Amino acid sequence: MTAQERRAIEADCARLVALYANLNDAGDWQGVADLYAPDGRMARPTAPDDWVQGREAILAAFLARPARVTRHICSNVVIDVVSATEAVGESAMLLFTGDSAPKVGSFHDRFILSAAGWRFAERRGSLIFQGS
Protein backbone atom coordinates (compact mmCIF):
# COMPACT_ATOMS: atom_id res chain seq x y z
CA MET A 1 0.00 0.00 0.00
CA THR A 2 1.35 3.42 -0.92
CA ALA A 3 1.45 6.38 1.45
CA GLN A 4 -1.13 8.09 -0.77
CA GLU A 5 -3.51 5.11 -0.53
CA ARG A 6 -3.08 5.02 3.25
CA ARG A 7 -3.84 8.74 3.55
CA ALA A 8 -6.94 8.34 1.36
CA ILE A 9 -8.28 5.59 3.65
CA GLU A 10 -7.53 7.69 6.73
CA ALA A 11 -9.34 10.68 5.20
CA ASP A 12 -12.36 8.61 4.14
CA CYS A 13 -12.73 7.11 7.62
CA ALA A 14 -12.20 10.44 9.38
CA ARG A 15 -14.92 11.89 7.15
CA LEU A 16 -17.30 9.17 8.38
CA VAL A 17 -16.64 10.25 11.99
CA ALA A 18 -17.50 13.88 11.18
CA LEU A 19 -20.45 12.98 8.98
CA TYR A 20 -21.88 10.77 11.73
CA ALA A 21 -21.82 13.73 14.14
CA ASN A 22 -23.43 16.10 11.63
CA LEU A 23 -26.18 13.68 10.61
CA ASN A 24 -26.85 12.84 14.27
CA ASP A 25 -27.20 16.53 15.14
CA ALA A 26 -29.54 17.02 12.17
CA GLY A 27 -31.73 14.12 13.32
CA ASP A 28 -31.15 12.32 10.01
CA TRP A 29 -31.47 8.82 11.44
CA GLN A 30 -31.62 7.11 8.05
CA GLY A 31 -28.41 8.90 7.09
CA VAL A 32 -26.74 7.80 10.33
CA ALA A 33 -27.84 4.19 9.86
CA ASP A 34 -26.59 4.20 6.27
CA LEU A 35 -23.06 4.91 7.53
CA TYR A 36 -23.00 1.37 8.99
CA ALA A 37 -22.31 -1.85 7.16
CA PRO A 38 -25.53 -3.92 6.89
CA ASP A 39 -24.35 -6.12 9.78
CA GLY A 40 -22.56 -3.30 11.64
CA ARG A 41 -23.05 -2.72 15.32
CA MET A 42 -23.02 0.21 17.71
CA ALA A 43 -22.92 0.88 21.42
CA ARG A 44 -23.88 4.36 22.61
CA PRO A 45 -21.58 6.26 24.97
CA THR A 46 -24.23 6.05 27.70
CA ALA A 47 -24.39 2.23 27.34
CA PRO A 48 -20.99 1.04 26.01
CA ASP A 49 -21.72 -2.64 26.65
CA ASP A 50 -25.23 -2.64 25.14
CA TRP A 51 -24.72 -3.48 21.47
CA VAL A 52 -27.27 -2.82 18.73
CA GLN A 53 -26.57 -5.15 15.79
CA GLY A 54 -27.53 -4.53 12.16
CA ARG A 55 -28.34 -1.41 10.16
CA GLU A 56 -32.13 -1.83 10.55
CA ALA A 57 -31.86 -2.27 14.33
CA ILE A 58 -29.58 0.77 14.53
CA LEU A 59 -32.14 2.83 12.62
CA ALA A 60 -34.92 1.59 14.92
CA ALA A 61 -32.86 2.50 18.00
CA PHE A 62 -32.38 6.07 16.76
CA LEU A 63 -36.03 6.43 15.76
CA ALA A 64 -37.09 5.30 19.24
CA ARG A 65 -35.13 7.93 21.13
CA PRO A 66 -36.83 11.13 22.28
CA ALA A 67 -36.25 14.22 20.17
CA ARG A 68 -33.55 16.57 21.44
CA VAL A 69 -31.26 19.30 20.20
CA THR A 70 -27.59 18.31 20.17
CA ARG A 71 -24.20 19.36 18.93
CA HIS A 72 -21.42 16.78 18.78
CA ILE A 73 -17.85 18.05 18.56
CA CYS A 74 -15.39 15.36 17.49
CA SER A 75 -11.63 15.83 17.64
CA ASN A 76 -8.37 13.97 18.08
CA VAL A 77 -9.43 11.65 15.29
CA VAL A 78 -6.75 9.03 14.66
CA ILE A 79 -7.28 6.36 12.02
CA ASP A 80 -4.98 3.35 11.73
CA VAL A 81 -5.13 1.44 8.47
CA VAL A 82 -5.10 -2.32 9.02
CA SER A 83 -5.41 -3.32 5.36
CA ALA A 84 -6.85 -2.08 2.08
CA THR A 85 -10.33 -3.05 3.37
CA GLU A 86 -10.15 -2.49 7.14
CA ALA A 87 -9.18 0.33 9.50
CA VAL A 88 -9.66 1.21 13.16
CA GLY A 89 -9.98 4.59 14.78
CA GLU A 90 -10.43 6.57 17.95
CA SER A 91 -11.87 10.03 18.47
CA ALA A 92 -12.74 12.34 21.33
CA MET A 93 -16.32 13.56 21.62
CA LEU A 94 -17.89 16.52 23.35
CA LEU A 95 -21.69 16.49 23.40
CA PHE A 96 -23.82 19.53 24.08
CA THR A 97 -27.55 19.17 24.60
CA GLY A 98 -30.07 21.86 25.34
CA ASP A 99 -31.15 20.35 28.65
CA SER A 100 -28.00 19.14 30.43
CA ALA A 101 -24.33 19.80 31.03
CA PRO A 102 -21.83 18.77 28.34
CA LYS A 103 -20.64 15.18 28.20
CA VAL A 104 -17.10 14.16 27.30
CA GLY A 105 -16.35 10.78 25.84
CA SER A 106 -14.76 8.88 23.05
CA PHE A 107 -15.53 6.54 20.20
CA HIS A 108 -13.61 3.46 19.18
CA ASP A 109 -14.41 2.48 15.64
CA ARG A 110 -13.77 -0.35 13.22
CA PHE A 111 -14.26 0.50 9.55
CA ILE A 112 -14.65 -1.78 6.54
CA LEU A 113 -14.64 -1.09 2.84
CA SER A 114 -17.94 -2.12 1.28
CA ALA A 115 -19.37 -1.85 -2.21
CA ALA A 116 -20.86 1.49 -1.08
CA GLY A 117 -17.52 2.77 0.27
CA TRP A 118 -16.13 2.90 3.80
CA ARG A 119 -18.66 2.12 6.53
CA PHE A 120 -18.67 1.53 10.27
CA ALA A 121 -18.41 -2.16 11.08
CA GLU A 122 -18.43 -1.26 14.77
CA ARG A 123 -18.80 1.97 16.71
CA ARG A 124 -18.43 1.90 20.49
CA GLY A 125 -18.86 5.05 22.52
CA SER A 126 -17.94 5.62 26.13
CA LEU A 127 -18.20 8.54 28.55
CA ILE A 128 -15.18 9.80 30.44
CA PHE A 129 -17.23 12.25 32.47
CA GLN A 130 -20.51 14.08 32.27
CA GLY A 131 -21.51 17.28 34.00
CA SER A 132 -24.39 17.35 36.42
Q: 102 lies in which domain range? A: 3-127
Can you give the pLDDT at residue 130? 72
- Give the number of domains in the chain: 1
Task: Tell me, yes or no, whether 132 lies in a domain.
Answer: no
Give one DSSP letter per residue of the chain, joined into a string: --HHHHHHHHHHHHHHHHHHHHHHHHT-HHHHHHTEEEEEEEE-TT-TT--EESHHHHHHHHHHSPP--EEEEEEEEEEEEEETTEEEEEEEEEEEETTEEEEEEEEEEEEEEETTEEEEEEEEEEEEEE--
Can you give the pLDDT at residue 119? 98
CA distance 117 to 105: 27
Task: Tell me, yes or no, whether 23 lies in a domain.
Answer: yes
Task: Tell me, yes or no, whether 33 lies in a domain.
Answer: yes
Query: Band of the pLDDT at 99, cuts 50, 70, 90?
Result: confident
Q: What's the pTM?
A: 0.92
Please, what is the average pLDDT of the chain? 95
pLDDT digits (tens, 9 = 90+) for 80-91: 999 999 999 999
Q: What CATH number is given to the structural domain containing 113?
A: 3.10.450.50
Can you give the pLDDT at residue 131? 62
- pLDDT over 90 at 121, yes or no: yes
Task: Tell me, yes or no, whether 53 lies in a domain.
Answer: yes
- pLDDT over 70 at 108, yes or no: yes
Query: Band of the pLDDT at 132, cuts 50, 70, 90?
Result: low
Task: Tell me, yes or no, whether 51 lies in a domain.
Answer: yes
Based on the number of CB atoms within 10 Å of its own CB, is 96 exposed (0-12), middle (13-18) or buried (19 or more)?
middle
Task: Tell me, yes or no, whether 60 lies in a domain.
Answer: yes
